[in-house]
Structure 1
Amino acid sequence: MRHAHLICLALFLVFVRRVQSSEQISVIAVVLACERSSHLKRTLRSLAKATVQSPALPVYVSVDEHPKSYRAVRAATLERNVKQVWQHIPSADYPAQTTRHRIARHYHFALSQAFDSRENANVSHVLVLEDDLLFAPDFLAYMLAAARHLTRADKNAIVCASGWNDNGRHETDMRSARLTTSFPGLGWMLPRALWTDYLRPNWPGAPNSTSTSIVGIGWDFWLRVAFEAHGWACITPAVPRVFHFGATGSNVAAQETEQLFASSPLADLPAGSVDWDATLSNVADKQSTAEQVQERLVKGHHVKSFEDAKRHSATAPVMPYLRESFAHFIAEPLKLWPTPRGHFHHTLLVQVAPQKDLLLYDARRAAKHFTLPTKILDTGAFRLHRAGRNASCEQECRALGLRCSTSSLEFANSCESLSQVMPDGCQGGCAYETGNDLPARVDDEAPLQTAGMCLIAETGATKDGRLDCKGTHEWTTRSCACVEAFGRELKDELKDEL
């Protein structure tokens, strides 16, 4: 056994040297922290174990301003694997408006230090970590292999790699990886090109940013919208290489953590067990992934339930869903997040049994990227209209002799659609938010953190999860989908299948 372990270790060291030298990749890790010193210690020591075969990987800790931040600074200073500690002290002339704004500013500061400082002028990639993560033994091997596929930030590029998978399950193959067009976060890596070409000049709420908006909903939600708008993708492992152990946080409730994060597996394969270089060379091809998904949509066995999917052992099952029914009919029984995450252009591969996966697809949004076997009501049957400020879609459509369709309203619920309807083209940016008046644009003069932004609904406002035709807000202008007064919401066959 010891001989086999030494062989794995030798192969891993050869792999690390090959990636870091021949590909001219220079990776550093940045751990963002605030006041949770015990969490930070646990994270840094887990990272030290994961990087023991590659001590040259520089690790930096960025500590945000807080009355108790000195605890995190002291904890980081005492860890041997930390090269330097940065302290974020925001300008008094630019106070944070919300907790999420403060966090977004800290991320901007940390990324600026990582890429723009003279010391790090040759850094090609940055691993962005938080102070409540644990790491799989092969976390670094996976990330270094992914780095060489992250070089661009143009439209439809693969721009990040993450150690997280929102839909990871114990039964899934630990040696495989996938592409997602939904930003996963939680232990992720980005190339310099993404920072210089997009994030640095556009980061909302950051000093000198070209974006006029202030982050009111979190930097990660903002980045998810950017992923959708640019067609970007991220490499993600089928089974997570990071584990989120933080019970509380600015964006995480304790109950949500217990139910979702705690149930997520952490891969335990030793470093060197997977040839990530070969594996990711096959994965990091968006066109090939799209073709594989399209083939399964056409040739797969179409099922109406999870039990039906389990019974067809010799086929590749596929099943449609509607966004408004995802939480109840998909997420609850499979113990997934209540909104679709980790999808590839709104198709989602989930594990329903050992050695059995099911391809789910959004019956509306996936149609933009794939030819779907299940047809929805002709998208030309509705018209998008801009309502007046503080007016409902029900009022707007009725004034036109039409009616508001909650089903068709889903097509208005994207940054692309809002940009077509709003006079300024959503130049203030787009973000996910909640409210019964969405999708909508917030007035420039609104006393809100989202003033000037176009807002997309991540969840429905009604009891059955649908978007609301009746909702209004004194500071928003809605985008509405109006149909003929007696038009049907969905084709009968889709209703039956869902």
Structure 2
Amino acid sequence: MRLNTTSKGRDCVVPEVNRNKNIGEFGANMNANVFKTFLEGMAWAEQGADAFGDLHSLMEPEFENHMRTLVLKAELWTGGLLDAKFEPGKVYLVPYLMEEYEALVKPLKLWPFPRGHYRHLTRIPVPGGAQVLLADRRACPLLPKHLRVLPDPQLQPTVAERAVDCSITCRSVEKQCSESNFWFINSCEILKQHFPSAAAAAMAMASHLWGWHSSPPHKLPAG
């Protein structure tokens, strides 16, 4: 569900009950330290639920209206989350940029990549009864306009030859390479428009990865 090509417009609703429980400390992408930091403390339901009650509020547009209302009434939080003092019962809105996310949520011991979000808005209950809304400024349409970060209207994805500097490629078409705009084109849909022969796409987060990673000799997006 991390990829748009997998989620196909579907989203998470009220992600407060874990959909699974990881029990292994070691695996292809798991080690003991990561397991103890993020997964060991997850609760496991010992008893099933006979009924979930009226679930009408989880249907669209009811659920989206509820989330929009939460955003509108939330208090904007511009400080860090380390030792944050949240008032019980209040809702706090924390806008972020993706490159800031891992450091931002570290005090909350959240997975370093957003999970369980609805339209890129993650609702986190914190001790004391407060709620923290983490909202991606580039991707969350529920944020008010003054908090959004939008792509440059002149953004033009440009394919570069392998091993050719993206700045050189952009200058060759009389454009300027913009690092911040890579976040708007680093999606499977956009990349596959420029690499239609690729068999698959995958999300990867690393300082040296800006777009397409592939073992065959593909060209690369410049920006």
TM-score by length of 1: 0.40
Distance 2:12 2:132 in 1: 21
Which residue identity is paired with 1:260?
A: F
Q: Tell me which residue corresponds to 2:220.
A: 478
Distance 2:134 2:12 in 1: 19
1:262 and 2:40 correspond: yes
1:387 aligned to which of 160, 166, 173: 160
1:398 aligned to which of 152, 168, 171: 171
Mapping 1:3-402, distance limit 5 Å: 183=1, 224-228=3-7, 230-234=8-12, 238-240=16-18, 242-267=20-45, 270-272=47-49, 275-276=51-52, 278-283=53-58, 285-305=59-79, 306=81, 310-313=85-88, 315-330=90-105, 332-367=106-141, 371-376=144-149, 379-402=152-175
Alpha-carbon deviation of 1:403? Answer: 3.0
Distance 2:84 2:154 in 1: 33
Q: Tell me which residue corresponds to 2:201.
A: 430
Q: Which runs of 5+ in 2 are unaligned?
A: none
Structure with larger RCO (C-alpha < 8 A, sep 6+): 2
Q: Tell me which residue corresponds to 1:205.
A: none
Report which of the two structures shows the higher radius of gyration computed on alpha carbons: 1
1:442 and 2:214 correspond: yes
Distance 1:434 1:326 in 2: 11
Relative to 1, partners in 2 of residues 1:321 and 1:242: Cα closer, same or farther, differing over 3 Å?
Answer: same
Q: Which runs of 5+ in 1 are unaligned?
A: 1-182, 184-220, 447-474, 482-498
1:383-429 CA-partner distances (Å, limit 9, x unpaired):
22111223232222233344322211100111122234x052x6623
Which residue identity is paired with 1:323?
A: M
Question: Is the helix fraction higher in 1 or 2?
Answer: 1
RMSD: 3.0
- Equivalent pairs, count: 221
Relative to 1, partners in 2 of residues 1:382 and 1:244: Cα closer, same or farther, differing over 3 Å?
Answer: same
Distance 2:24 2:161 in 1: 44
Relative to 1, partners in 2 of residues 1:423 and 1:266: Cα closer, same or farther, differing over 3 Å?
Answer: closer
Secondary structure, in 3 states, of the residue corresponding to 1:358?
strand
Secondary structure, in 3 states, of the residue corresponding to 1:439?
coil
Q: Is the CA contact 1:390–1:476 (under 8 Å) kept in the aligned structure 2?
A: no
Alpha-carbon deviation of 1:477? Answer: 2.4
Q: Is the CA contact 1:303–1:309 (under 8 Å) kept in the aligned structure 2?
A: no
Q: Tell me which residue corresponds to 1:415.
A: 188
Question: Is the strand fraction higher in 1 or 2?
Answer: 1
Alpha-carbon deviation of 1:320? Answer: 0.3
Distance 1:414 1:314 in 2: 37
Distance 2:176 2:123 in 1: 36
Distance 2:145 2:108 in 1: 23
Distance 1:478 1:289 in 2: 39
Alpha-carbon deviation of 1:336? Answer: 0.7
Secondary structure, in 3 states, of the residue corresponding to 2:35?
helix
Which residue identity is paired with 1:256?
A: V
1:168-201 CA-partner distances (Å, limit 9, x unpaired):
xxxxxxxxxxxxxxx3xxxxxxxxxxxxxxxxxx
1:241-266 CA-partner distances (Å, limit 9, x unpaired):
64322111223222211211112223
TM-score by length of 2: 0.81
Percent of aligned positions that are identical = 24
Q: Is the CA contact 2:125–2:132 (under 8 Å) kept in the aligned structure 1?
A: yes
Alpha-carbon deviation of 1:271? Answer: 4.0
